[in-house]
Structure 1
Amino acid sequence: MDKIQNFLFKNQAFLYKLFLFVFTLSLMVYFFPKGKQFKYEIIKNKSWQYKALYAPFDFAVLKSDKEIEEEENQIKSNYIPVYNYNQELAQEKINSSVEAFNSFSEDSLSIDYQVALNDFIKEQTQAVYLFGVRNEKRKPYANEIIYLKKENLIQEVSFEQIQPIEKALDEIESNFRATNLETDVSYIISFFEDFLKANVSYNKSENKTLLDQEISRISPSKGLVKQGELIIDQGQIIDTEKYQLLVSLKEKYSLINHSEANQIIVNLGQIILLAMAVLMLLLFIKQYRFSIYDNNKQLTFILFNVLVIFFLNLLVLKLNPNYIYLVPICILPITLKAFFDARLGLFTHVITVLILGFIVPNSYEYMFLQIIAGIVTILSVPELYKRANLFISVGQITLVYLVSYVAFTMIQEGSIFEINQLNLLLFVLSGIGLLFVQPLIYSYEKIFGLVSDLSLLELSDTNNKLLKELSDKAPGTLHHSLNVANLAEASANEIGANSLLVRVGALYHDIGKMYDAFYFTENQTTAVNPHNDLPPKESAKIIIGHRMKGIEMAKKNKIPDRIIDFIRTHHGTTSVYYFYKKQQKLTPNEVSIEDFQYPGPKPFSKETAILMMSDSVEAASKSIKEPTASVIENFVDKIIDKQIEEKQFVNANITFREIESVKKVLKQKLKNIYHLRVEYPD
């Protein structure tokens, strides 16, 4: 039992990575679409590169989306709408018309005249309600026909025969003027205005249901291919007809129920391919980004993002495959670049797209568009913390999507007018979705404890709490840190390192000096030096201790680990040489260099290496009494060459050429600080 516990304890990091790999793979395999994959790539208007293909079984030839859409449009254009006729209301109006008119009329009329007038009222009411009265005021189309539904009877009538109330009143007025009745016509019209009610209505939901029923009866197929028939020969161009045959075969192929043994083999193949894809990602991270591989939290974050994109695409495919381009997949490389670097972001994006290529329709087109968009994403988002950059980048990514898709359509359809307008809209919406990457990054920072350029920008503000405290307690140290930040930032820009990260690291690298600030030269404002009253070992302990105190203070103030790394490494394993030599004079036989040496670790990135060089050069430059160009150049070379000799940069991915570039920048910056000019000959 103890052996098992010891084994688990010693290998817990590896076991977690193994669990992470198996968990990610299991989720993908479980939700991966089941069934055999069609083994041919179908690209319209390209030649068939495979051998002659014969139908392996009988299958129906599916209609294209365009053909089905044309049939739907034809049904819609030929559809005769149904209007409901309220028979009860019509009969009630006809039966009560005379009684209502007599109640409305207050004049005493002769019996004969009253009878004639009543007959006119009833006759007009019957005429109006013969086909009914409608509320719709629109004009009928030419020869427009509708179905008039009277209870269980449906009658085909001209829409013009169903009058709006205004037209019915006009006809009644015209008919009344043609009679010999002498009553004021406005009196009659006034009655009918109050009396007539619309009894014909258009039921939108009912008509939609009827129309949908007709559309649902459209046959999805238009023919049958028998087993053994030649579908396409090698070298033939995949024209519209051949394309539809191949698509129909692919669709039928996915619906075939395979045997259990076959399904096991299919699942095994899926496991192998997905395992290879995820394994390649992990091996890349281990080989080229070991610090990330070694950090389980960061590794979990990367695989989590891959799974999020994977499941978003699966969800859209399940709901409607036509909306696959709606998923803003380029959020993945933007996010990873914000927290790590462009190379990792692009590699992860490509692996994710390759995985999705197994399940999306038109996989070649999809993978090409998404990989190109991913490359543009990496190239076009230089500084995410600048809001304008994000909008510009989104515009560029969307434009690349649109141009690439139009080019594919031109190749496949041979026409620029056959472009799927829906996909163009989806690309635009996907671009808009990328704008939500900033709140997403903020959420990730809080959940996973990571740091992005947005957080770095906040930390670089010298008005924040910790830097203001440093300014109050150790103003000289803050001034030194600002000078180091400027030198380090310029050096990072020269060799393509993360300039914002190294600047923030420089601002915080000496925050531990605010404890015992007076023991550090830059904070001593008088000629009194407290180290004169201390043994060299004690002085060295105070100087070396600022590193650990800085780490503790940074953690207490929730400074991100990427910044704390600069505090840990900015002295590497160098020694406090001044006090070592001082102790050596006092006790030459009892001195040990380890007592005067920083515990490390050594810098392990370009940024931390740059800070070490900039910090050493800036601090030591204060000792130059008569600075000249040659003195400064020799001075910088001496300090950095000594660090190289002590192997301070062996763990950092920085080359000798890049170190020489950093030297060049530091020399130039120091010359500018000391306002040196060209030395003219006498």
Structure 2
Amino acid sequence: MKNIINRIYQNQSIIYKIFLFVIVVFSIVYFFPKGGKFKYEFQKGKPWQYENLLAPFDFAIQKTDEEISKEKEELTNESTVYYEYKENIELDVKKKFKSFYDESIQDKGLVNNFNTQIYKATAIDLISFIYNKGFVDTSIKKGGASDKMVFIRKQQEVSKMVFGQMITPDEILPLINTTLKDQVDYTYKSIITNILSEVLVPNVFFDEVYTNKDLKELLSSISYTKGKVSTKELIIARGDIVEGKKLEVLNSLKEEYKSQIWTKKNYRWILTGYIILVSLAMGMLMLFLYLDRKEIYENNTQVTFIFLNVLLMVFLETLMIKQQTEYLYVVPVCILPIVMKAFFDARVAMFSYLLMVIMLGFVVPNSFEYIYLQTIAGFVTILTVSDIHKRGNLFISVIKITLVYMLTYLAFYIIHEGGISQIKSSYFVLFALNGVLSFLSVFLIWLYEKLFGLVSDITLLELSNTNSLLLRELNEKAPGTFQHSMQVANLAEAAANEIKANVMLVRTGALYHDIGKILNPFYFTENQSTSVNPHNELSPKDSAKIIIGHTIEGIELAKKYRLPDRIIDFIRTHHGTSLVYYFYKKEMEQNPETVNQDDFRYPGPIPFSKETCILMMCDAAEAASKSLSEPTATAIDSLIERIVEKQKSEGQFLNANITLKEIESVKKVIKKKLKNIYHVRIEYPE
């Protein structure tokens, strides 16, 4: 049991990767739509590239969504509209009119006028006329055209009527004025008109229940098919153009597969196929990291970060496929390469992105079009997104990505439709929205830095600000070290540019590599402004201990100020496992028999990246150049050669992925920069 536990402990990193791999694969398969993939790829307007296709079974030809929608619209327009006639309203209106009329007549002193009762009867007759024809409420639904037949329901009796025969609210006032014009004098006309305008209310109302019931019966009678294809019947021949009826039959066959082939009975096999395909894709990503990005592969946090980002993008796309397929292109999948490139490199970004797009190709409609469009957009993202710490760069890159989406979609549409007369402008809106959402990558980069402890160029830019708290303290307490760090940063930046290393990372690491000297600044020569040297009162062993200690103290100080681990790596490795040679030689002279080389050696580790190797070379070269009494071109060349060759002979670069050619390039840059610093001229022969 103990041996098993020990073996698990020894292989915990591999076990974790296997666990992560399984979880991500099954999660992706779970997010995929529950159905198979039609075995034929076809597009409208393109030739059929397979052999002659015969119907594998009997199936019906399905109507298109447009045809069904049009048929539903026609039935809706033709369906019967019901209105309800309410009889008690007429009596209530007449009662109110009589009451208001009598009050108005009395107020105006017209009670004894001979025409008062005659005009009252005229108004009552008008009310009866209006309600007999039907005063219809049009606030909810209008019957349609004035000549359309509608049904009027009086309790349980139903009768037909032309909608235009009823009186609408817009017609009431003109009808009153026309009726009273020649029958009632002006004074009474005004009174009657005002009262009728107040008391008249509709007595015919739209009957939603009966209307919807009738419409529902009509819609239920719609046939969703328009023909049948028999077994072995030729559907399409090789080379035929996929259009018209052939396209409809192919789409119908594709839908029929969902009901006849992709059933629960054989879904296990479909699921197995998906698991194999997704496992191969994610396995290729893991293999790529193992063979080509060993430092990422060995870091479980970074592997988790890459896998979870792929999973997140797959989840968002599959969610959109299930909910609103027409909005598929609004999901900003180009966030993945932007984020990956911010933390790693272009190759990691492209590899992970392409594998994600290929996996989504299993489940998206028009998979070829989708894969092509997203691949081109991904290439543009990788090639254009750089230095995202500069505000304008990401904005310009997103505009380019959006334009590529639009142009690619336009090209596909022209190929499919043969023109742009009916192009859907909504897709251009979706691509524009996709571009806007791509700016979320800035927020995600910040969030991932907090969650995974990763470092982006944005953070490096902030850290490289010499007004930051720790660098300001270094400048105040150890000004000589600060100037040395600045010079080393300039050298390292130029060298990193030369060999295509991470410039921002190496510059920032160089600025912080000697922060441990803050605690004992006067024990380092660059901070000694007087002739007093505190090492004169110490033994060589104690002096070496203080010098070596600045790396340990620097690491502790960096952790206190919460510097990222990638910056702390420069503090750990900038001296590797080299000797504090000056004090070692001094101890050899004083105590040759008892000297222990390990007491004068830095604890390491040795550099393990191009960037840390660059810093080691630049740091040693800049410090040693200060000891040259006559910094001639020859002296500088000789000094740099000796320093770098010594580091190589001590095996300081063995763990890093830096080549001999790159080391030579770094040496060349250092020599050139130091000659510029010391204004060295070429030595001509005498």
Q: Same fold (TM over 0.5)?
A: yes
Q: Quick one: which amino acid aligns to residue 43 of structure 1?
A: Q
1:75, distance to aligned residue in structure 2 (A):
5.6
1:199, distance to aligned residue in structure 2 (A):
5.7
Q: Note the alpha carbon deviations across 1:279-321, whole angstroms, 9 max, x for none.
A: 1111111112111111111111111111111222222222232
Distance in 2 (CA, whole Å) between partners of 1:227 and 1:353 is 36
What does residue 25 of structure 1 align with?
25
What does residue 99 of structure 1 align with?
99
Change (3 A) 1:20 1:140: closer
What does residue 419 of structure 2 align with?
415
Q: Quick one: which amino acid aligns to residue 437 of structure 1?
A: S
Out of 124, 127, 135, the position equivalent to 1:125 is: 127
Distance in 1 (CA, whole Å) between partners of 2:3 and 2:353 is 41
What does residue 425 of structure 1 align with?
429
1:436, distance to aligned residue in structure 2 (A):
1.4
1:315-326 to structure 2, matched below 5 A, reads: 315-326=319-330
- Please say which of residues 454-463 and 563-572 is displaced more in the overlay: 454-463
1:521, distance to aligned residue in structure 2 (A):
1.2
3-state DSSP class of the match of 1:496?
coil
Q: Note the alpha carbon deviations across 1:443-497, whole angstroms, 9 max, x for none.
A: 2222222222222222222222222222232222122112222222232223322
Structure 1: where are the runs of 5+ without partners?
Answer: none
Change (3 A) 1:651 1:80: farther
What does residue 560 of structure 1 align with?
564
Q: Note the alpha carbon deviations across 1:607-664, whole angstroms, 9 max, x for none.
A: 2122222212222221222333443344334333333343322322223333333333
Q: Quick one: which amino acid aligns to residue 500 of structure 1?
A: M
Change (3 A) 1:196 1:260: closer
What does residue 174 of structure 2 align with?
170
What does residue 317 of structure 2 align with?
313
1:350, distance to aligned residue in structure 2 (A):
0.8
- Please say which of residues 329-338 and 100-109 is displaced more in the overlay: 100-109
Q: Note the alpha carbon deviations across 1:372-401, whole angstroms, 9 max, x for none.
A: 111111122102222322222222111111
Distance in 1 (CA, whole Å) between partners of 2:659 and 2:598 is 28
Q: Quick one: which amino acid aligns to residue 163 of structure 1?
A: T
Distance in 2 (CA, whole Å) between partners of 1:99 and 1:40 is 80
Q: Note the alpha carbon deviations across 1:338-381, whole angstroms, 9 max, x for none.
A: 12222111111111111111111111111111111111111221
- Please say which of residues 615-624 and 519-528 is displaced more in the overlay: 615-624
Distance in 1 (CA, whole Å) between partners of 2:445 and 2:499 is 27
3-state DSSP class of the match of 1:60?
strand
1:270 aligns with 2:270: no
Structure 2: where are the runs of 5+ without partners?
Answer: none
Change (3 A) 1:94 1:269: same
Change (3 A) 1:252 1:638: same
What does residue 117 of structure 2 align with?
115
What does residue 666 of structure 1 align with?
670
1:482 aligns with 2:486: yes
What does residue 512 of structure 2 align with?
508
Q: Quick one: which amino acid aligns to residue 102 of structure 2?
A: N
Work out the percentage of aligned pairs sharing the same amino acid. Answer: 48
Q: Quick one: which amino acid aligns to residue 29 of structure 1?
A: V
Q: Note the alpha carbon deviations across 1:481-535, whole angstroms, 9 max, x for none.
A: 1222222223222332221111211111111111211111111111111222222
Q: Note the alpha carbon deviations across 1:30-83, whole angstroms, 9 max, x for none.
A: 444444432211123222222111111112222334444554565677678777
Q: Note the alpha carbon deviations across 1:421-445, whole angstroms, 9 max, x for none.
A: 4433322222221111222222222
Distance in 1 (CA, whole Å) between partners of 2:215 and 2:433 is 30
- Please say which of residues 169-178 and 352-361 is displaced more in the overlay: 169-178
Change (3 A) 1:189 1:458: same
Change (3 A) 1:259 1:82: closer
- Please say which of residues 411-420 and 609-618 is displaced more in the overlay: 411-420
Change (3 A) 1:262 1:98: closer
Distance in 2 (CA, whole Å) between partners of 1:209 and 1:646 is 91
Change (3 A) 1:302 1:87: farther
Q: Is the 8 A contact 1:470 1:511 kept in 2?
A: yes
What does residue 49 of structure 1 align with?
49
Q: Is the 8 A contact 1:83 1:146 kept in 2?
A: no
What does residue 284 of structure 2 align with?
280
Q: Quick one: which amino acid aligns to residue 541 of structure 1?
A: K
Q: Is the 8 A contact 1:605 1:653 kept in 2?
A: yes
Change (3 A) 1:90 1:626: farther
Distance in 2 (CA, whole Å) between partners of 1:84 and 1:465 is 81
1:247, distance to aligned residue in structure 2 (A):
2.0
Q: Is the 8 A contact 1:61 1:224 kept in 2?
A: yes
3-state DSSP class of the match of 1:183?
helix
What does residue 528 of structure 2 align with?
524
Q: Quick one: which amino acid aligns to residue 525 of structure 1?
A: S
Q: Is the 8 A contact 1:476 1:523 kept in 2?
A: yes
Count of residues paired in the alignment: 681
Change (3 A) 1:119 1:413: same
Distance in 1 (CA, whole Å) between partners of 2:435 and 2:362 is 24
3-state DSSP class of the match of 1:105?
helix
Change (3 A) 1:495 1:67: farther
1:229 aligns with 2:233: yes
1:9, distance to aligned residue in structure 2 (A):
1.4
Change (3 A) 1:252 1:139: closer
1:180, distance to aligned residue in structure 2 (A):
5.3
What does residue 443 of structure 2 align with?
439
Distance in 2 (CA, whole Å) between partners of 1:489 and 1:669 is 11
Distance in 2 (CA, whole Å) between partners of 1:429 and 1:217 is 41
1:134, distance to aligned residue in structure 2 (A):
5.1
1:546 aligns with 2:550: yes
Q: Is the 8 A contact 2:235 2:250 kept in 1?
A: yes
Out of 339, 345, 348, the position equivalent to 1:335 is: 339
1:576 aligns with 2:580: yes
What does residue 647 of structure 2 align with?
643
1:348 aligns with 2:355: no
1:137, distance to aligned residue in structure 2 (A):
13
3-state DSSP class of the match of 2:115?
helix
Out of 291, 296, 315, the position equivalent to 2:300 is: 296
3-state DSSP class of the match of 1:623?
coil
Distance in 2 (CA, whole Å) between partners of 1:219 and 1:488 is 75
Change (3 A) 1:533 1:82: farther
Out of 440, 443, 457, the position equivalent to 1:453 is: 457
Q: Is the 8 A contact 2:454 2:564 kept in 1?
A: yes
Q: Is the 8 A contact 1:76 1:211 kept in 2?
A: yes
3-state DSSP class of the match of 1:236?
coil
Change (3 A) 1:532 1:276: same
3-state DSSP class of the match of 2:49?
coil
3-state DSSP class of the match of 1:231?
strand
Change (3 A) 1:240 1:379: farther
Change (3 A) 1:276 1:541: same
1:241-252 to structure 2, matched below 5 A, reads: 241-252=245-256
Out of 406, 429, 438, the position equivalent to 1:402 is: 406
How well do the aligned residues superpose, as a CA RMSD in angstroms?
3.2
Q: Quick one: which amino acid aligns to residue 127 of structure 2?
A: T
Q: Quick one: which amino acid aligns to residue 296 of structure 2?
A: I
What does residue 11 of structure 2 align with?
11
Distance in 1 (CA, whole Å) between partners of 2:217 and 2:587 is 98
Q: Is the 8 A contact 2:80 2:211 kept in 1?
A: no
Change (3 A) 1:170 1:270: closer
Q: Note the alpha carbon deviations across 1:147-202, whole angstroms, 9 max, x for none.
A: 4765664755446954335x522332232221254635333333233333456677
Q: Is the 8 A contact 1:512 1:546 kept in 2?
A: yes
Distance in 2 (CA, whole Å) between partners of 1:422 and 1:580 is 75
- Please say which of residues 567-576 and 62-71 is displaced more in the overlay: 62-71
What does residue 377 of structure 2 align with?
373
